[in-house]
Copies of this chain bind each other. A is one copy, B any other.
Amino acid sequence: MNQDYIIADEWSILEKGFDKENVTASESIFSIGNGYMGQRANFEETYSGETFQGSYIGGIYYPDKTRVGWWKNGYPEYFAKVLNAPNWIGIDVKINRRSLDLSQCKVNDFERKLNMKGGVLTRSFTAELSGGEQIKVCVTRFLSLNFNELGVIKYDITPLNFDGEIEYIPYIDAGIMNEDANYDEFFWEILRFEEEKNEAYILSKTLKTEFHVCTGMKIEFLLNDYFIELPYETHKEDKKIAFNYKTDVKKGDTFSICKYGGYTQSMNHPKEELIFALEKLLQKASIIGFYDLLQKQKDAWKKIWETADVVIDGDIKAQQAIRFNIFHLNQTYLGEDSRLNIGPKGFTGEKYGGSTYWDTEAYCIPFYMSTKDKNVAKNLLLYRYHQLDKAIENAEKLGFKNGAALYPMVTMNGEECHNEWEITFEEIHRNGAMIYAIYNYVNYTGDYSYIPQYGMEVMIAVSRFWHQRATFSKAKDQYVILGVTGPNEYENNINNNFYTNYLAKWTIDYTLKNLEILKEDYPDDFERIIQKTHLNQLELDEWNKVSNGLYFPYSDEYEVYLQQDNFLDKELISTDKLPASERPINQKWSWDRILRSVYIKQADVLQGVYFFENHFKQKSIERHFNFYEPFTVHESSLSPCVHSILAAKINKMNKAYEMYLRTSRLDLDDYNHEVHEGLHITSMAGTWLSIVQGFGGMRNFNDKLSFAPQIPKEWKSYSFKINYRGRTLKVFKDHKGCKFTNESDKPINIFIHGKDFKVAPKTMIEL
């Protein structure tokens, strides 16, 4: 059974009624973030029930000592993980000296709401404490888009049936441990406390990596919305500082605390100025004040939604879901900082260490390219460019030479963090995604200058890797790539994975082609790159040999490329024969059984068909889809979107819609029974792709922007906008037809169902 307690709403995520069972799930789902930092939707006050407390700062990581059962030569010694950061949200509450703890009192009219339009989390409820006191509580919290180091809380309490003492004990606590610490170690060192009137700061640093972080709070009070001043006591512990305020409040009066908090850190400030910088920020916030900050927050989100929004009419759950996905992507990454990237769980959990995967290149970049300025996607590309040296080092560790690069499977700072040989060493297709992302970026934005400036160095290093990784098989009289794991991780250490081989050949060809272009059109860059990389014609000839002689497994019987050598030796039993009681197979079957089965975790050959759709005829796409789809169990969140897009392409709209549903409400309905661990952030980009590339049929091959809009019969209409080469294009589709509106002041050329259209500035065409 999937969960169904989230109430459908166009613009909000809503939970009504308090159920302890849902607390950890809601902590994930209602997470907030501003691209710079993020946090789970933990309660401010003490909660003694099951909870997973988490607050994270982008880029602040710790290299945790690797834990393995059996060490393999080449494993990295550390797994860099985003650190659970000091808590600045904590506000303990006492009513007549009794702690407010939702797990210990009667809770009524509980409502939690994530206002996606404005980026604000609210919570309200009435509670009856063991002494009979009834209170009404409303809490508003947001992480500011305008001041990205700032978070704001307003916490209101109204006594309903008594006059009595209310205590607020706001605190900051740097004694926070990672849930997923391999050896239960504490990763922080506390350096300094600082306290001023109603303000407190803790300066701490991460062990080993020595990131310095200042955590702070500034406190204000309101009684019925008028500022009041209160005396307080300070309680200082080892790693925590708390202020204790109390006052008597009359029945019906609303006593509120405003807490301005957040972090400054050494990636953005000199270490010695961290406390001062945060003091200044919190003072500024206090001067602006809660209500104005809230308004600014809403304005900032409005701007994001202007291009990013997808409107679906006639299906409120689908509408909620797509906004939920877009909202969380924007909470996770806003693209202003090329040192940051998008972890699979964003700021909503710790699984996968919060690090960067090929998800970014394969799924996220297209989303950001279309919904934001091109610099955002460029920053994501630069992230990898800046890590090229580490990728070369990584390849050297595995025996490659001469500047060949292998980008890590999982990384925070460019070093490999993962330690399963079948993935770390063998899931090398990721290296191709780096180049595909460059190609995709150049293709979509038209910004060719990225290749001479940055991209070519990466392309050469990756081509070198493919050249060295391929070996010659006398038996086949062709080059082969042995011992890999494809995107379908339910196969390990296989030979000639079609997707991997295809990317390898394509990378080499694309690099060679662009080297020619650079030689001709960018001779200075060409010269600089040749000097730097020591590339020579002999090497290029060798690349060509591999590219021309590379083997691809193919079935004459089925007329499809095979996922890998010997794929057809498997028992070809389709998923409809798989009993529900045995799914998901990754929870029900032992690993060997999964491996020798035909079942596919996520799109693999089809991922290749999707990336290079323009290389395949429609009939061939159909054959590949029809062959592989029946064996695919979609136990990766990254799978349904690709299937949805291809299904739409081959006019299987029912299948496309079915796959869309799986991706869009994956977390809201908790399909995989793991939402308490955090959200599937990177796959959210896939949901957006399902609509825009799937239903909308958007493609951008060969410098052409094309569409082929279709609509699921369950919807009345949908619309989305894209930013394409400085133009904003709005696409609307209903059952009667479609409309394309050029909202910019420059004309735009598009292809619709294969036909060429020029849409003039500020005009609409209708079909």
Expressed in whole angstroms, the Cα–Cα distance for A588 and B399 within the complex equals 9
Q: Which B residues are in CB contact (< 8 Å) with A471? A: 570-571, 596
Is the beta-carbon distance between A483 and B596 smaller than 8 angstroms?
yes
- A476 interface residue (CB < 8 Å to B): yes
Bound-complex Cα distance A566 to B483 (A): 11
Nearest-Cβ distance from residue A594 to partner chain B, whole angstroms: 8
Inter-chain CA distance A548–B592, complex, in Å, is: 25
Q: Are B592 and A398 in contact (CB under 8 A)?
A: yes
- Residues of A353-412 at the interface with B, using a CB-CB cut-off of 8 Å, are 397-399
Chain B: which residue is nearest A588 at the CB level? Answer: B73
Minimum CB distance partner of A476 in chain B: B569
Instruction: State which of B66, B399, B570, B594 has its C-beta within 8 Å of the C-beta of A69.
Output: B66
Within 8 A of B (CB), among A567-595: 568-572, 586-595
In the complex, what distance in Å separates the CA atom of A589 from the CA atom of B483?
14
| Residue pair A586, B73 in contact (C-beta under 8 Å) | yes
Contact, CB under 8 Å: A565 / B566: yes
Instruction: For the complex, give the distance between the alpha carbons of A763 and B131 in Å.
Output: 102
With a 10 A CB-CB cut-off, give which of A426, A474, A565, A592 has the most chain B CB atoms.
Answer: A592
Is residue A472 within 8 Å, beta carbon to beta carbon, of the partner chain? Answer: yes
Q: Mark A407-447, 1 if CB is under 8 A from B, else 0.
A: 00000000000011110011000000000000000000000
- A493 lies within 8 A of chain B by Cβ: yes
Asked whether, in the complex, the Cβ of A590 is within 8 Å of the Cβ of B398, the reply is yes
Q: Is the interface of A mostly helix, strand, loop or mixed?
A: loop
> Contact flags (1/0) for A486-525 with B, using CB distance below 8 Å?
0000001111000000000000000000000000000000
Contacting pair B419 A69 (CB below 8 A): yes
Q: Which of chain A's residues 269-292 have a Cβ closer than 8 Å to chain B?
A: none
Is the Cβ of B590 less than 8 Å from the Cβ of A425?
yes
Q: Mark A579-615, 1 if CB is under 8 A from B, else 0.
A: 0000000111111111110000000000000000000
A70 touches B (CB below 8 Å): yes
Say yes or no for A49: interface residue by CB 8 A criterion. Answer: no
C-alpha gap A439/B261 in the complex (Å): 75
Beta-carbon contact of A397 and B73 below 8 Å: no
Contact of A572 among B397, B474, B593 (CB under 8 A): B474
Residue A72 at the chain B interface, CB threshold 8 Å: yes
CB distance from A523 to the nearest CB of B (A): 39
Residue of A475, A586, A589 with most chain B CB atoms under a 10 A cut-off: A475
- B contact residues around A570 at 8 Å (CB): 471, 473, 482
Q: Are A398 and B69 in contact (CB under 8 A)?
A: no
Q: With A and B bound together, what is the CA distance between A337 and B592 in angstroms?
A: 35
Is A595 touching B399 in the complex (CB atoms < 8 A)? no
- Pick the residue among B422, B472, B586, B596 that contacts A571 (CB under 8 A): B472
Is A480 in contact with chain B by the CB < 8 A criterion? yes
A588 to B590, CA, bound (A): 31
Report B-chain residues with C-beta under 8 Å of the C-beta of A426: 592
Specify which of A72, A426, A569 lies most central, judged by the most chain B CB atoms within 10 Å of its CB.
A569
In contact, B72 and A590 (Cβ under 8 angstroms): yes
Tell me, yes or no, whether A747 is within 8 Å of chain B by CB.
no
Minimum Cβ distance to chain B for residue A504 (Å): 14
Residues on B with C-beta less than 8 A from A476 are: 569
Q: Does A74 contact B (CB under 8 A)?
A: yes
CB distance from A478 to the nearest CB of B (A): 9
Contact A589–B69 (Cβ < 8 Å): no
Cβ of A7: which chain B residues have Cβ within 8 Å of it? none
Contact of A398 among B72, B494, B569, B593 (CB under 8 A): B593
Min CB distance, A547 to chain B, in Å?
18
Q: Is A67 located at the chain interface by the 8 A CB criterion?
A: yes
CB distance from A225 to the nearest CB of B (A): 52
- Complex Cα gap A474–B571 (Å): 8
A68 at the interface (CB under 8 A from B): yes
Roughly how many angstroms separate A649 CA and B319 CA in the complex, as a whole number? 76
- Hey, which chain B residues are within 8 Å of A589, CB to CB? 73-74, 399
Partner of A592, one of B483, B565, B591, B595: B483
Known: A482-B569, A483-B596, A492-B493. A590 touches B397 (CB 8 A): yes
Interface string of A447-486 (1 = CB under 8 A from B): 0000000000000000000000001111110001011000
Cβ of B420 and Cβ of A595 under 8 Å apart? no
Return the chain B residue nearest A572 by Cβ.
B474
14 contacts between A and B (CB under 8 A): A69-B419, A70-B419, A73-B586, A73-B594, A74-B590, A397-B590, A398-B593, A399-B593, A421-B592, A422-B493, A425-B593, A483-B592, A483-B596, A565-B565
Top 6 A-B pairs, shortest CB-CB distance = A74-B590, A425-B592, A483-B596, A475-B568, A482-B596, A473-B569
